[in-house]
Structures are given as structure tokens and as C-alpha cells.
């Protein structure tokens, strides 16, 4: 599709009001942003040169959605549903998003986790149509020129991956771009960022996945991964090009290895409007669950002791966000760190070990915590007992490691233990919710990373809240765009966490639920966006929104109006033949 075939006319809020069409005839059906399929009206068919190119009957969008629901539901396997939705998206973006919106709770699991993991692994074998951009050493020198081809789409959000730390399946080479596609579809569903403003990007620096290197069908750059200075130079070239072409757009770093995730996030904090969802999004949604637990327990955050089992990007991200929240609650940085323990495969992380730089922030001094001098007390159970842990969080990927003994040890420290087994997929979850409720006689407050069916214990039915980053990143994105924030600050994610927690109703809290339901995604994203935007204003990093001529002037009501009217909803837009 060419920039000469279509364009967009925006209103004062930066929302698309008309699509300008420079082509005519059957070509229009091949432009997914423009195509309406059988919904083109008779007047549009005549005006756009589509006479006889379509069957005579005209269907409404609602009729198209009904037909598409029947088709997607007829698919037996999740990957078949994924293929259908992606194919529909490639033909007709508006209909695809309208279909997803009609059943977001079910279809989110198809376009994103867990089904997208299969799509990543099968990317080369089931390749149908190119989406987004693939930079590799053979074209990275042309990055700026390549990105300029997308200026007509007014790119506002890019999700960028180097494909190394995909979900729980690791290095997946070129297939990682499917993650970016899924995340951007959720930006549209949650925050209303129109699909033409979204750009998925793969930074293909090679792969160390032997199966891919030996696969004749593999579509990625068939070399071992760049490392060291070569890798950093490649990332730097991309970052420089992106900043030059889209200085006001948000760049979300996605699925980098844990070592590179922190280094890249921190390197470009002030040079780009960027954040890492695996670190900060995970931290914020976990904090949201903890904040809800505090509302249920009627206790203060700063009174808790936290243990994060799993010291990768997600785990340290959770620890970081808890630390930020504790400092905002009045603790010093040192006092906040003292209440947060991290644990990796070798036990509690201590400062006397030779560890990665990103783990050092929460590494414990054995002189300050003398019980850590005993090697027998570095394990999970012993740490829970010695530290007096009241909030236990799992990001380890070690299925079943929260044993009955461990859970009962947390329950011995507090009347309402907070247990959050967050590892994906279900087979890797640290404990099953039904077991946690049974082991604590229903006292535990539980949230998970994977979706689980409700659990009934002692006559009370508990909806198992899923700590899904989707409650955070779309709203953060919209809040950043609407406020014109020049950078993404850590406090944005604390604001987001409070907003997410506030969306859990009183009735849900009475049953022990810690996070909202997925079907409320749009409403949650709106609250997150406003909280983040006002945080940007109060932090002094806001500027007039560059995507809109409407100025909010820092007023919350006007900001809320701007954010609401910036949203695109999946409905067919008027078309103007040029």
C-alpha cells in the first residue's frame, strides 16, 4: 500500500474524521485501512469506482460483525482463530477491531497471550502478509528513510522488539513481531489509538535459536545474534532514526532479554519518549493488585514486607514499582528497599554475590540482615519466615514452587496474605488459586498472571483477577500522547496502578478480587490515561498535545475531554474521493 493512495483528515482533537482516497476501483479493496468490503454504500461504490467490483447487496457493519463472529467461532483451535483474525485485519482493519471489541474478553486471548505465542513460533511457516518493519544489519543504515515512508500515517505509537525474550519461550527471531502486532491491537482496543497511527517494528539482530538457524523456511536474518558494541550500535542507529522521524511518538520496548531490557530502557529514558512494558507495565499492574489488597485489608503499603520470587526483568520491574510507591508513601529510598526482597535461582539476592547490574538495586547486605549469613536460610521458605513476608509475588516461571508450606508460612505472618503467582503460561504458575484458598482457609488475596476460572471456597465464589499488562500500557500511551509528555517518568506507572486499582468495585473487593475484569478495558484505560496525563502536568514534563489543536491547559476536566475525543472507535469513516 502506498502513501499516495490514501490519507487522513483530523479534527481539532487529533481524531480521524475522514479518509481521503486517491485511488479508485478494486485497488481500494486491497487497502486495509480503507476497505469496507460489502459495507461500501452505493454512493461510495459509484464515487470510488467500485461499481460491479462487489456483489449488489450492501451490508451494515453490525451485519458484518455477526457474520464474522460465526466464522471465528467455527474455528476449533485457537491458532485457527488467530489466523482468521489476522487475515481479517489485513483485509479490513475496522471490521477486525469491531469484531474484537464485540467479545474482548475471549478474543484478547487469541490476538495476544496465550495464543500469540504459537503464532510467534509458527511465524515463518504460516507467513501470509508483511506487517510492520523489519530492520536488520543489511538495512539499518537506511532506517531514517524507511521510517519516513510512514509519515503520512502520523505514527503515534511503535512497539519495538529485538525478539530475544518472548513471553516464556525466549529467542524467537523474526517471529517476535507478532507480539508487537498484538500489543498494538490492544492499544487500539484499550486506548483508541487508531491502527494507522501504530507501527510494529522488529530489530532483527539475528538469533541463537538453533532450530530457526537450521530451518530452510526461516524468514529472519540467518546469523547468530549481534552482541556487545555491534548490538549497541545497531540499537543506537534505530533509536536515532526513530527520534528524528517521529520525535513526538511513543516507543514501547518489548521482549528484550533481561540484561538488555534495563540497559536500553535507561539509555533512552531522556532521549526518546519510551518505556519498557515488561519492566514497568508488569510492575504497575502488580502494584495495582497490591493496592487493592491494601484497600481490602485496611492496611498501609508501607507496613508490608514483599518478596519477589524471580529476579528477571519482570520481577525487578515489580520491585522497582513497589519501591517507587513506598517512597511516595513517605519512606526513604533505603527504607523502601529494606522492605523488598528478591530471590533468584540461587536464593535471596545479596550484595556479596557476582550478579548482573540490574539486580544490584535490591541486593541485600548481610550485615544489615544477619540471618542471610546462614546459607540454609536463603531459600524461599526460609526467607518468607525470616523476613516476615506478607506479600509474595512469583515471576520465576517455576511451576508449583509456591508449595503449601510456603503459602502457610506467609499466612502465619498476616491475617490476609497476598499471594500473586504471575508466571505464564498456566503450566508455569507458581501455585493454583484453588490450592492457595484451601491452604489458607480462604484468607488469601490472590491474583495471577494466567487466566483462571473462578474458585468457590467456603461458599464464596472468587473471580481470579489476572494481572495483565493490558490494563496499564494502553492508558499510559494515551495519557502520554494527550499530555504531550516529553518523557515517561516512573511516577506515571504509580499513577496508573492507583487508577487500575480504583476500577475494582466494592462487590469485587468483598469477594477478594484484586484487578478489574477484561471487559472493562476501555473504561480502565480511560482512567489510567487521565491519571498519567495529570501526573505529566504536575511533574512539569507536559506540553501542548502535538496531535491536537485543542489545548487542555492543564485542567483535569479539559484533559479528560481531550483524551475522550482523541479515541478512535471501530466504525466506518466517511470517504472523500480525491
| Active centre residues (catalytic) | 112, 183
Write down the residue that cell numbers 541485600 correspond to: 364
Q: Could you tell me which of 143, 252, 242 has the C-alpha nearest to residue 193? A: 252
Residue pair 392/305 in contact by the 8 Å Cβ criterion: no
- How far lies 323's CA from each of 25, 369, 394, in Å? 58, 19, 17
Cβ partners under 8 Å of residue 107, min gap 6: 72, 81, 85, 99, 100
Q: How far apart are CA 540 and CA 529, in angstroms?
A: 17
Pairing of strands 157-161, 198-203: parallel
The C-alpha cell at 20 is: 481521503
Write down the residue that cell numbers 486506548 correspond to: 191
Residue pair 494/321 in contact by the 8 Å Cβ criterion: yes
Kind and range of the H or E run holding 319: helix 313-328
Q: Is the dihedral angle over the CA atoms 203, 136, 235, 481 positive or is it negative?
A: negative
C-beta neighbour count of 303 within 10 angstroms: 12
Q: Could you tell me which of 226, 172, 227, 176 has the C-alpha nearest to residue 202? A: 176
Angle, helices 521-539 vs 177-191, to 10°: value is 90
Residue pair 260/297 in contact by the 8 Å Cβ criterion: no
- How far lies 328's CA from each of 287, 322, 486, 494, 546, in Å? 13, 10, 22, 9, 30
The C-alpha cell at 398 is: 517455576
Write down the residue that cell numbers 525470616 correspond to: 386
Terminal C-alpha separation, the chain: 17
- In 76-155 the beta strands, taken as DSSP E runs, fall at 133-135
Q: Could you tell me which of 414, 460, 411 has the C-alpha nearest to residue 431? A: 411
Angle, helices 93-102 vs 104-111, to 10°: value is 120
Query: Which DSSP symbol is given to 38?
Result: G
Residue 467 DSSP SS3: coil
CA dihedral 160, 161, 162, 166 (to 10 degrees): 180
Amino acid at each position: 500500500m502506498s502513501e499516495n493512495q490514501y490519507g487522513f483528515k483530523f479534527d481539532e482533537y487529533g481524531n480521524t474524521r475522514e479518509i481521503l482516497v486517491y485511488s479508485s476501483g478494486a485497488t481500494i479493496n486491497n487497502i486495509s485501512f480503507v476497505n469496507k468490503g460489502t459495507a461500501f454504500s452505493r454512493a461510495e461504490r459509484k464515487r470510488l469506482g467500485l461499481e460491479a467490483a462487489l456483489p449488489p447487496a450492501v451490508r451494515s457493519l453490525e451485519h458484518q460483525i455477526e457474520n464474522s463472529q460465526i466464522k471465528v467461532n467455527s474455528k476449533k483451535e485457537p491458532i485457527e482463530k488467530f489466523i482468521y483474525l489476522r487475515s481479517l485485519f489485513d483485509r479490513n482493519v475496522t471490521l477486525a477491531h469491531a469484531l474484537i471489541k464485540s467479545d474482548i474478553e475471549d478474543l484478547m486471548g487469541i490476538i495476544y497471550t496465550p495464543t500469540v505465542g504459537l503464532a510467534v513460533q509458527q511465524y515463518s511457516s504460516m507467513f501470509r502478509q508483511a506487517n510492520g518493519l523489519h530492520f536488520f544489519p543489511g538495512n539499518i543504515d537506511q532506517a531514517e528513510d524507511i521510517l519516513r515512508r510512514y509519515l503520512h500515517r502520523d505514527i503515534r505509537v511503535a512497539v519495538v522488539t529485538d525478539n530475544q525474550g518472548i513471553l516464556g519461550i525466549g529467542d524467537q527471531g523474526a517471529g517476535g513481531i507478532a507480539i508487537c502486532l498484538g500489543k498494538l491491537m490492544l492499544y487500539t482496543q484499550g486506548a483508541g489509538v487508531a491502527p494507522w497511527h501504530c507501527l510494529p517494528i522488529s530489530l532483527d539482530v539475528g538469533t541463537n535459536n538453533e532450530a530457526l538457524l537450521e530451518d530452510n523456511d526461516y524468514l529472519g536474518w540467518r546469523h547468530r545474534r549481534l552482541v556487545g558494541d555491534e548490538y549497541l550500535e545497531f540499537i543506537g542507529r534505530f533509536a536515532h532514526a526513530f527520534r528524528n522521524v517521529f520525535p513526538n511518538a511513543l516507543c514501547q520496548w518489548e521482549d528484550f532479554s533481561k540484561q538488555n531490557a534495563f540497559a536500553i530502557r535507561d539509555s533512552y529514558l531522556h532521549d526518546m519518549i519510551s518505556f519498557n512494558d515488561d519492566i514497568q507495565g508488569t510492575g504497575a499492574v502488580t502494584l495495582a493488585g497490591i493496592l487493592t489488597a491494601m484497600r481490602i485489608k485496611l492496611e498501609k503499603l508501607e507496613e508490608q514486607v514483599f518478596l519477589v520470587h524471580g529476579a528477571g526483568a519482570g520481577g525487578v520491574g515489580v520491585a522497582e514499582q513497589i519501591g517507587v510507591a513506598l517512597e511516595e508513601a513517605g519512606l526513604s529510598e533505603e527504607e523502601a528497599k529494606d522492605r523488598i526482597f528478591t530471590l533468584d535461582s540461587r536464593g535471596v539476592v545479596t550484595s556479596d554475590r557476582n550478579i548482573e547490574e540490574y539486580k544490584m538495586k535490591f541486593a541485600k547486605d548481610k550485615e544489615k540482615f544477619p540471618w542471610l549469613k546462614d546459607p540454609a536460610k536463603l531459600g524461599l521458605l526460609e526467607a518468607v519466615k525470616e523476613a516476615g513476608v506478607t506479600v509474595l509475588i512469583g515471576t520465576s516461571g517455576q511451576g508449583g514452587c509456591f508449595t503449601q508450606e510456603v503459602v502457610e508460612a506467609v499466612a502465619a505472618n498476616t491475617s490476609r496474605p497476598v499471594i500473586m503467582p504471575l508466571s505464564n503460561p498456566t503450566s508455569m504458575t507458581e501455585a493454583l488459586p484453588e490450592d492457595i484458598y484451601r491452604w489458607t482457609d480462604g484468607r488469601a488475596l490472590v491474583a495471577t498472571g494466567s487466566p483462571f476460572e473462578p474458585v468457590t471456597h467456603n461458599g464464596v465464589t472468587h473471580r481470579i483477577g489476572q494481572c495483565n499488562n493490558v490494563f496499564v500500557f494502553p492508558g499510559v500511551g494515551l495519557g502520554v500522547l494527550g499530555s504531550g509528555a516529553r518523557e515517561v517518568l516512573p511516577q506515571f506507572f504509580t499513577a496508573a496502578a492507583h487508577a487500575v486499582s480504583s476500577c475494582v468495585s466494592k462487590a469485587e473487593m468483598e469477594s477478594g478480587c484484586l484487578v478489574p475484569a477484561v471487559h472493562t478495558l476501555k473504561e480502565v484505560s480511560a482512567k489510567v490515561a487521565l491519571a498519567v496525563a495529570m501526573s505529566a502536568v504536575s511533574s512539569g514534563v507536559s506540553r501542548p498535545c502535538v496531535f491536537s489543536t485543542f489545548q487542555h491547559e492543564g485542567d483535569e476536566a479539559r484533559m479528560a475531554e481531550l483524551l475522550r475525543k482523541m479515541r478512535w472507535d471501530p466504525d466506518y469513516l466517511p470517504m472523500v474521493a480525491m
